[in-house]
Amino acid sequence: MNQSEPVFRLENVTRRYGDLTALDSINFEAPRNEYLSLLGPSGSGKTCLLRIIAGFEKPDEGKVYFQGKDITSLPAHERGIGFVFQNFALFPHLSVFENIAFGFRNGTMNVDASEIDKRVGEAVEMVGLAGLEDRNPEQISGGQKQRVALARTLVMQPKLVLLDEPLGALDANLRGRMQTELRMIREQLDVTFLHVTGSETEALAMGDTVSVLDSGKIIQTGAPDEIYNDPSSSDVALFLNRFNLFEGKLEKGSFAGPFGEVAVKKVQPNDRDMYAIRYDRTKAYKKGQTVPGPALPAKFLASEYLGSSIIFLFETVDRKQVEIDHHLSFGDPDEYKVGEEYVLSWDPAQALVFGKEATQ
Ligand code: ADP
Ligand code: MG
């Protein structure tokens, strides 16, 4: 296989269920040895996309390529693509060892017992399960079950592993640790991981590249910092959950929103006029203080301490909630009184503007 060739490629893949278009003419690919995150809200088509790559489902239109070959009509078990299911899908009556070795036991593969022992042993080491080989799934924790599910896939030495919300069932602490380990495992092998998630934090933390899926369409692909700093549409900004988004009207180089009228330079194409400012770039001022430009009156509602930052929640007169994310490394925040009115503002140069009449 050509090293520079994508490991997999979807070409105009469409999947419909009755009137619903779950995947809408998707073009999507990944290079070898990449950690790819696919971020999308629930129902956006993430699982459907993975099932089509794996071969559990056929596209209504389009083609699927794997290592340069058209595999659109190849059955799942002949594809050699790994799949880690959200609910782990372990065999309850088999030991950890036998769960991991299961792929060798179906008779179609001619691998001798010592080779199976060796490969299961390596997979067990890699995912940190040494010593637990003889236990049954009910005798191990959720995090360990996740490792068995991963080892069972890695033992087959696939070039592509699909992970369907693999950390969704784990608690926050464990999730952070597994994130690091998944990335480390990926780096040790000649394998591409395609990790789907509904969590923007997870997608940005894990991926070398992040793609955003919305209603069956890929609406942006880029490096995590690119997606984070420069979402291509107001929908991407919305999923990232780090922007205050305002509706308004864009006219003659000026955006009229609930914060007044602000001159804008760059406008990105969008289906409606929207203005976005990051939570950590939004600031609150006492009434009467000079603000940098936009002025949005809002009542202070509540704060939430997150360790490295504090979130302050405000509410505008039309009951829209606006968030401020104050990084504590920038010093102590001002104190706000619940129910009291402040003026929210920001440097207008740091806002993103999306509109029907784009400037580019
Ligand atoms: P996600 O994994 O992003 O939550 P899915 O890929 O599971 O979303 O589903 C995408 C859309 O396709 C959803 O609206 C879902 O209801 C629909 N869908 C998925 N599988 C089927 C099916 N077998 N029959 C009918 N509709 C389905
Ligand atoms: Mg799903």
- CATH code, 279: 2.40.50.140
Q: From the CB of residue 188, how many other CB atoms can be counted at a distance below 10 Å?
A: 9
For residue 41, give the ligand 1 atom closest to its CA: 3
Question: Residue 105 has what pLDDT?
Answer: 84
Return averaged pLDDT per consecutive 10 residues of the chain, 360 residues in all.
84 97 97 96 97 97 97 95 91 96 81 92 94 95 93 96 92 88 95 96 95 96 96 93 95 94 94 96 94 94 94 96 95 93 96 87
Tell the residue nearest (CA) to atom 24 of ligand 1. Answer: 17
Residues 294 and 164 both lie in one domain: no
Question: Residue 1 has what pLDDT?
Answer: 57
Question: Residue 232 has what pLDDT?
Answer: 94
Q: From the CB of residue 106, how many other CB atoms can be counted at a distance below 10 Å?
A: 8
Q: What is the pLDDT of residues 192-245, one digit of tens each?
A: 999 999 999 999 999 999 999 999 999 999 999 999 999 999 999 999 989 999
Residues 73 and 219 both lie in one domain: yes
Sorted by sequence, the CB contacts under 8 Å of residue 203 that are 6+ apart come out as 37, 38, 39, 195, 197, 210, 224
For residue 216, give the ligand 1 atom closest to its CA: 10
CA dihedral 345, 350, 352, 358 (to 10 degrees): 120
Q: Do the beta carbons of residue 68 and residue 1 sit within 8 Å?
A: yes
Q: Report how far ligand 1's centroid is from the alpha carbon of 49 (Å).
A: 10
Any ligand 1 atom below 6 A from CB of 43: yes
Q: What is the pLDDT of residues 87-102, one digit of tens each?
A: 888 999 999 999 999 9
**For ligand 1, mutation pick of 10, 14, 15, 17 (most atoms within 8 Å of CB):** 17
Amino acid at 42: S
Domain end, chosen from 205, 229, 253, is at: 229
Q: Do the beta carbons of residue 45 and residue 219 sit within 8 Å?
A: no
Tell the residue nearest (CA) to atom 16 of ligand 1. Answer: 43
**For ligand 1, mutation pick of 16, 47, 87, 217 (most atoms within 8 Å of CB):** 47
Q: Do the beta carbons of residue 209 and residue 221 sit within 8 Å?
A: yes
Lookup: tokens for 349: 């140069």
Residues 260 and 216 both lie in one domain: no
Residues 147 and 242 both lie in one domain: no
Lookup: tokens for 98: 């036998």
Lookup: tokens for 255: 């955006």
Domain end, chosen from 211, 229, 247, is at: 229
Q: Report how far ligand 2's centroid is from the alpha carbon of 207 (Å).
A: 18
Tell the residue nearest (CA) to atom 26 of ligand 1. Answer: 17
Indicate whether 3 belongs to any domain. Answer: no
Which domain range does residue 291 map to?
Answer: 234-355
Q: Report how far ligand 1's centroid is from the alpha carbon of 22 (Å).
A: 6
